[in-house]
A = this chain, B = another copy of it.
Amino acid sequence: MRNFSFHNPTKIHFGEGQIAKLGKEIPPGSRVLVTHGGGSIFQNGVWAQVEAALAGFAVSRFAGIEANPQFDTLVRAVEQAKREQCDFILAIGGGSVIDGSKFIAAALCYAGDPLDLLTGTRIKAAVPLACVLTLAATGSESNPHGVVTHVARQEKLPFSSALLYPRFAILDPRTTFSLPARQIGNGVVDAFVHTIEQYLTYPADAPLQDRYAEGLLQTLIEEGPKALADPEDYAVRANLMWCATQALNGLLGCGVPQDWATHMIGHELTALYHLDHAQTLAVVLPALLAERRAAKRAKLLQYAERVWHLRDGDEDARIDAAIAATQGFFSRMGVPTTLSEHGLDAEVIPQVLAQLQRHQMTSLGEGRDIDLEVSERILLRAL
């Protein structure tokens, strides 16, 4: 096992009715900026619960944080928060709203151009934030990371700071009952690939981390299709929500090598062609596993056996079967696994490679050996 440090200070309140705890968790006297996406929180009863819990606080509401939250939108939220002198941010939504709110929290404490915070300037302060999660997917509810899209630059810009862990996160599985199937499928694929990025590399003598990851993957495989079949099965939604949080709260990655090349290539596909984040992952991951089968051989065999229970055939046949099973699972979740299903062909490859080069993404993966040539082969396999 490698040396590591782990510190996740986010407090979780999990279960039905937990939104009522908001009022006790936010410091008395706070002026709260509530951020959210569209109007769904008014239809699914979430806003009514939040509003009741926030009685007694000064509240300013900012609507319209979109999927892949945009820099320009967030700057408007920062202006509103300054005008209203907000000193606490409550994000209601999924990863996009929470990521965007993390950026707002940091930008509120930064005197210069907020774009600096996405292009290398270290975040040195942030307004405290918390969240009410309404979509199980990204893990942003208990991690320090965010990604913001800059439309004019066609870029997805990641940022991270320990100051951006939500102070608390409320996870009520009922808030996800009314989500469209596409978002459920995307969420399950997102959590699955987050787990794979921290697991499917090479053996590092960390059997507990391996088993945690395998347990997560198996649970997503079991519960994911059930969530599509019955949108109001509380137990299923609860299990998916806890899986998604666990998949990217830092625990799985303790002491082990990590990959993240699928995410880096996927980010460019979203920035250029506006695919959903999880759609890019479902396209890139199977292609990457096939391309990297030599470097990942030992873990691919372990994955085949422990996650998919594949024990027949020789080693290469089992690896092939595991990759096919992964694709089959993404398909069952309604998420396509080829670029062509999104109407994209080989012409996009030079553009993606140019973006990777521009962003210095030329030595990706756990071995830092996925250069542009390897990325090209991955994209060719993903057609």
A residues lining the B interface (CB < 8 Å): 1-18, 168, 205-208, 210-212, 214-216, 218-219, 222-223, 235, 238-239, 242-243, 246, 251, 254-255
Residues of B within 8 A of A206 (CB): 239, 242
Docked-complex contact B12 and A9, CB < 8 angstroms: no
Residues of B within 8 A of A238 (CB): 1, 205, 255
Residues of B within 8 A of A211 (CB): 211-212, 214-216, 218-219
Q: A5-B12, A5-B14, A6-B14 are in contact. Are A219 and B207 (CB under 8 A)?
A: yes
Docked-complex contact A254 and B205, CB < 8 angstroms: no
Docked-complex contact A255 and B242, CB < 8 angstroms: yes
Q: A214-B215, A255-B14 are in contact. Are A246 and B5 (CB under 8 A)?
A: no
Docked-complex contact A11 and B15, CB < 8 angstroms: no
Residues of B within 8 A of A235 (CB): 1, 205
Q: A3-B18, A238-B1 are in contact. Are A208 and B246 (CB under 8 A)?
A: yes
Question: Would you give 9 A-B contacts (Cβ < 8 Å), ordered by A?
Answer: A1-B242, A3-B14, A3-B16, A7-B12, A207-B222, A208-B216, A211-B211, A238-B255, A242-B255
A162's closest neighbor in chain B, by CB?
B11
A206's closest neighbor in chain B, by CB?
B239
Query: Smallest distance from the beta carbon of A33 to chain B beta carbons, Å?
Result: 24
Residues of B within 8 A of A205 (CB): 235, 238-239
A21's closest neighbor in chain B, by CB?
B5
Residues of B within 8 A of A16 (CB): 3
Residues of B within 8 A of A243 (CB): 208
Per assembly, the copies of the chain total 2
A14's closest neighbor in chain B, by CB?
B4
Secondary structure dominating the interface of A: mixed
Residues of B within 8 A of A215 (CB): 207-208, 210-212, 214-215
Partner of A208, one of B14, B18, B239: B239
Q: Roughly how many angstroms separate A4 CA and B254 CA in the complex, as a whole number?
A: 24
Query: Smallest distance from the beta carbon of A3 to chain B beta carbons, Å?
Result: 3
Docked-complex contact B13 and A5, CB < 8 angstroms: yes
Q: A14-B255, A207-B223, A219-B207 are in contact. Are A1 and B239 (CB under 8 A)?
A: yes
Residues of B within 8 A of A3 (CB): 14-18
Query: Smallest distance from the beta carbon of A162 to chain B beta carbons, Å?
Result: 10
Residues of B within 8 A of A207 (CB): 215, 218-219, 222-223, 239
Query: Smallest distance from the beta carbon of A38 to chain B beta carbons, Å?
Result: 28
A15's closest neighbor in chain B, by CB?
B3
Query: Smallest distance from the beta carbon of A232 to chain B beta carbons, Å?
Result: 15
Docked-complex contact B13 and A242, CB < 8 angstroms: no
A241's closest neighbor in chain B, by CB?
B1
Residues of B within 8 A of A255 (CB): 14-15, 238, 242
Residues of B within 8 A of A1 (CB): 14-15, 235, 238-239, 242
Q: Roughly how many angstroms separate A231 CA and B278 CA in the complex, as a whole number?
A: 45
Residues of B within 8 A of A239 (CB): 1, 205-208
Query: Smallest distance from the beta carbon of A128 to chain B beta carbons, Å?
Result: 15
Pick from A1, A11, A206, A210 the residue with the most CB of B within 10 Å: A1
A18's closest neighbor in chain B, by CB?
B3
Query: Smallest distance from the beta carbon of A322 to chain B beta carbons, Å?
Result: 19
Docked-complex contact A8 and B5, CB < 8 angstroms: no
